Structure 1
Amino acid sequence: MSAWRQALVDHDMAVTLIESGAWLTVAGDEAALSRLPRGNWIGGTIPYFMGQEGGVTTRGQLFVTVLDQFAGHVPFVKVHDADTLPQVCLEAPENGFSLLILPAFSAVHGAYAQHAPSYEDMYMKPLVGWVAGVHLDDMGQRRPKVVDGTTGRMHEDRAVVLHVPLPDSLGADVRIVNLFEQGEGPRIQFEHDGFEVRDCLIDGVRTPLAAYLQERRHDTRLPLVADCNGAAVNVSFRWVDATQGQVAFYGPVFRGIEYRLARPFAGQYHEAFSQAGADLPEAQFSCNCILNYLYGELEGRRTGEAIGPMTFGEVAYQLLNQTMVQLTLSLR
């Protein structure tokens, strides 16, 4: 069964949905979000989407996910800074799920990326979401923001979360779609946690990472991949500066974790992603990574039934990169 409806809509339709009193999540360009009335919604800035007709970049339309409220089970909104964010799972309903939106490159984004796996009750209650961003032409000029629609306030240094209680007859399931797996190359480890590094340990030998990647002529569309208890977790490259000897990532690397460079695709990136997306069932919530959108050349292409914002990071409990995240509801 589906209690949700998702669609890329125009401004008037978004306003109609908000004024109906429905509980919503909304993704859109900052100017489009700022024109929406207060109501039962949370949102985040992004102009990239997988819509009903395929991938699209738009500053005018908004992607809306509508939740039908279950009788006696009312969703509620919380706003957190980096200090209070560890409460996100503790405050979540015992049966239900939570939708979290974080502004990219903020302190709260960094705190969540580095510490979420250790939050109390993490992995005990379904938690999904995404990282708000900006149009790539606006990088360095505008900052990503989230919106608490109940107050109308925009935040560039806070996270917003919508907690959704469910009746006992329903359960929520989280699915992660990851195209990548570890390659056959050497083990890569780091001596410090963080989003930027200079040196790493290549099979135990300290090595400048930027020089190593340049020497291998590594295609930085292919991320680092860690094997975390059988699950592949990506760390995507943001930039590599061989001159300065620095490498930056979209998510943090952690000391004590073994990484390898991802195995290359047999075919084209967009072919691999289109094939993976074509096999997915329809979900109640879905988001996808902006890197998949760009590297997979998904503008104008469809990814099966999966639609949603194309984001600066995905949340499936912890922060992820270069994945698709879905949430489905099912009868217990």
Structure 2
Amino acid sequence: MPNVSITSQLLDLNSTIERIESGEFLIIAADESLLAQLPSGNWIGGSIPYFMGDNGGLVSKEHIFVNAIEGLSGDSQPRITPYDAKSISRIAQDAPDNGFTVAIIPAGTDVHSEYAQNAPSYQNMFFSPLIGWIAGVHLDEVESSKAKTIFGPGAMAMEDKAVAMHVSLPTNQLANIHIVNLFEQGNGPKIRFTETGFNVKTCTVDGVETNLADYISQNNVDTRLPLVADYNGINVNVSIQSINGDNIALYAPVFADIEYQFATPVPDYVSSFNQAMSGEATDKSEFGVNCILNFLYSELEGKQTGKLTGPITFGEIAYQLLNQTLVYMSIDNA
């Protein structure tokens, strides 16, 4: 079996159709209007109009970001599988013994919620690299449009199912996942929630029941800073999407009885992000995704993030769901 690699390009509609019709195995990100025009084939897709291309960050409804799996042999074709909220728990069990899985999940759905809340406990999770992203829409259309995923073999658009591509690697190669997170737990009060979910109103702040929106307002909390929890030594962010009166919508769920703190303030988001990226071997990246919040707060339109390219999304998957991070995968010699 030859060595497997992944190439990435921003393409137009006709070029993407040609790649699909040639039989390539592709992972595709684009605005829904373009995804709807693609034929059936060996691909999975998700809706998003934000990208990191070779020339920097880009917002576009005319471009399509395409990752192509190269070096495949006839006896090890990737497997493409849809998952709903009931079957997504099998995703790690379906992974190859040596290889990786790329998953795309539509934002704001039952399968998104199920994965976000329970993925770390799925059987065989963390045995085989699992990377991916949360499909979304243009931020101006969050209230009017729904994220979509596409099951390429049937060119079927879905609002309520995840899609995954399971890819085997030869024995001389290993996939590794890397996470870039700017944030650490701050020194502020400890915040806990009584329920797990994507929408919150009340919490306890150092044990005192508190309306979180009021707390944020009264303490001038910078809502660009996520809530951060320590999950077995890993800092996991929960980012604020919007505050509407008493209700706070989040990009990832908070978990009941987990201790959170707002992140330590970052003096200059742009320079801090660039500094974090400077230590990463992005030239070895085969596949990567960045968070829409990093794109906005680091003002990445027209700017590059090392050698990393890929969709800019509503959440990142590095085994479990992450927020306000950048994740990428390298394929290394075993």
TM-score between the two structures when normalised by the length of structure 2 = 0.96
2:208 alignment partner, one of 167, 192, 205: 205
Aligned pair 1:261/2:272, yes or no? no
1:93 alignment partner, one of 96, 99, 104: 96
Deviation at 1:69, TM superposition (A): 4.2
Give the partner amino acid of 2:269.
Y
Q: Take 1:177 and 1:52, find their aligned partners in 2: how far apart are those partners?
A: 19
8 Å CA contact 2:4, 2:71 repeated in 1? no
Q: Take 2:171 and 2:257, find their aligned partners in 1: how far apart are those partners?
A: 40
Among all aligned residue pairs of Structure 1 and Structure 2, give the percentage whose two residues are the same amino acid.
Answer: 46
How many pairs are equivalent? 329
Deviation readout 1:19-67 (Å, 9 max, x if unpaired): 2211110000011111112111100000000100000101011001110
Deviation at 1:207, TM superposition (A): 1.5
1:154 corresponds in structure 2 to 157
> What does residue range 195-274 of structure 1 map to in structure 2 within 5 Å?
195-241=198-244, 244-266=245-267, 268-274=268-274
8 Å CA contact 1:128, 1:317 repeated in 2? yes
Q: Take 1:233 and 1:157, find their aligned partners in 2: how far apart are those partners?
A: 25
1:290 alignment partner, one of 289, 292, 314: 292
Deviation readout 1:179-236 (Å, 9 max, x if unpaired): 1111111111111111111211112222111111111111101000011122110000
> What does residue range 67-82 of structure 1 map to in structure 2 within 5 Å?
67-71=69-73, 72-82=75-85
> What does residue range 123-134 of structure 1 map to in structure 2 within 5 Å?
123-134=126-137
Q: Take 1:279 and 1:306, find their aligned partners in 2: how far apart are those partners?
A: 13
Q: Take 2:234 and 2:4, find their aligned partners in 1: how far apart are those partners?
A: 28
Deviation at 1:264, TM superposition (A): 0.8
Q: Take 1:58 and 1:137, find their aligned partners in 2: how far apart are those partners?
A: 13
> What does residue range 11-50 of structure 1 map to in structure 2 within 5 Å?
11-50=13-52
Q: Take 2:31 and 2:18, find their aligned partners in 1: how far apart are those partners?
A: 18
Aligned pair 1:310/2:312, yes or no? yes
8 Å CA contact 1:2, 1:284 repeated in 2? no
Deviation at 1:2, TM superposition (A): 6.5
Q: Take 1:2 and 1:33, find their aligned partners in 2: how far apart are those partners?
A: 26
Give the partner amino acid of 1:219.
D
Deviation at 1:306, TM superposition (A): 0.8
CA RMSD of aligned residues (A): 1.3
8 Å CA contact 1:46, 1:134 repeated in 2? yes
Q: Secondary structure at the match of 1:284?
A: strand
Change (3 A) 1:2 1:302: farther
Deviation at 1:280, TM superposition (A): 2.4
Aligned pair 1:180/2:183, yes or no? yes
8 Å CA contact 1:278, 1:304 repeated in 2? yes
Q: Take 1:11 and 1:5, find their aligned partners in 2: how far apart are those partners?
A: 18
Deviation readout 1:111-135 (Å, 9 max, x if unpaired): 1111111111111111010000011
Q: Take 2:247 and 2:39, find their aligned partners in 1: how far apart are those partners?
A: 44
Deviation at 1:288, TM superposition (A): 0.4
8 Å CA contact 1:277, 1:306 repeated in 2? no
